[in-house]
Amino acid sequence: MKELLKRITVNPAVMTGLPCIRGMRIPVTTILGLLAAGATTKEILTDYPDLEPDDIKACMAYAAWLTREREIELQPA
């Protein structure tokens, strides 16, 4: 999973800092939205020819990693 996550980049100068794929102007949220809407990997790769199959896997791995994070509200003592 660590190798896949290396494909996700964050640069304030690219797409206002949204997580993107390999520094391109393709945000992770775009690919995840397409997958959620039912698009297949093949359809996404056709629509975005600069992407590779591992880029789509990286988006899913990134989403999985994010859902592991959680915030715990601290209560005053």
3-state SS track over the chain:
CHHHHCCEECCCCCHHHCCEECCCCCEHHHHHHHHHCCCCHHHHHHHCCCCCHHHHHHHHHHHHHHHHCCCCCCCCC
Q: CATH class for domain 2-68? A: mainly alpha
Measured CA to CA, the distance from residue 42 to residue 53 in angstroms comes to: 8
Which residues 6+ apart lie within 8 Å of 35 measured at CB? 44, 56, 59, 60
| pTM given for the model | 0.84
Instruction: Give 59 or 66, the one with higher predicted confidence.
Output: 59
Residue 23 has pLDDT above 80, yes or no: yes
Output the pLDDT for position 68. Answer: 84
Tens of pLDDT, residue by residue over 32-60, are 999 999 999 999 999 999 999 999 999 99
Output the pLDDT for position 77. Answer: 67
